[in-house]
């Protein structure tokens, strides 16, 4: 691979732009090491999942991530999707394995909007009989 591959991943309000290049397996998120940026183990696993799905690729690619918006979970899942898309661009043979794991599907769920006359999207104000 002579040039870096880039891709975009989205989840809820989070948008992740990633740059994939040959290297030693470093993952940098907004200038920090990903284990420092995501201290929770399950979020680190989300970021690593595309590499674990494809055998023999772990530790051979560097990933630089710019992520903004949303919370930690949305950001981690946006990064997961972006890495999966970049890997498909890198080698089309990876696509079936990634697709089987559901890593290429955009999760459409997002927060429902607040309605007027309600406390939240569906929650009503407290009812008072007297």
Residues 6+ apart with CB under 8 A from 108: none
In this structure, the number of other CB atoms found within 10 A of the CB of residue 12 comes to 17
* Integer Cα distance of 40 and 88 in angstroms: 27
Tens digit of each residue's pLDDT (9 = 90 or more) over 89-120? 988 999 999 999 999 999 999 999 999 999 99
Phi, psi of 94 (to 5 degrees): -75, -20
Contacts of 12 (CB under 8 A, 6+ apart): 70, 71, 74, 107, 109, 110, 111
pTM, whole model, 2 decimals? 0.89
Give SS3 for 126: coil
Per-residue pLDDT reduced to its tens digit, 42-60: 999 999 999 999 888 878 8
At 2, is the pLDDT very low, low, confident or very high (cuts 50, 70, 90)?
low
């Amino acid at each position: 691979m002579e040039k870096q591959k880039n891709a975009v991943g989205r989840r809820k309000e989070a948008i992740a732009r990633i740059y994939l290049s040959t290297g030693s397996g470093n993952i940098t998120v907004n200038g920090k090491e990903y284990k420092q940026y995501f201290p929770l183990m399950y979020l680190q696993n989300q970021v690593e999942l595309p590499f674990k799905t494809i055998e023999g690729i772990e530790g051979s690619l560097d990933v630089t991530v710019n992520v903004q918006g949303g919370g930690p979970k949305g950001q981690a899942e946006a990064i997961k999707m972006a890495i999966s898309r970049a890997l498909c661009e890198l080698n089309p043979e990876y696509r079936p394995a990634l697709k089987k794991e559901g890593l290429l599907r955009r999760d459409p769920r997002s927060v429902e909007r607040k309605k007027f006359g309600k406390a939240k999207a569906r929650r009503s104000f407290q009812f008072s009989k007297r």
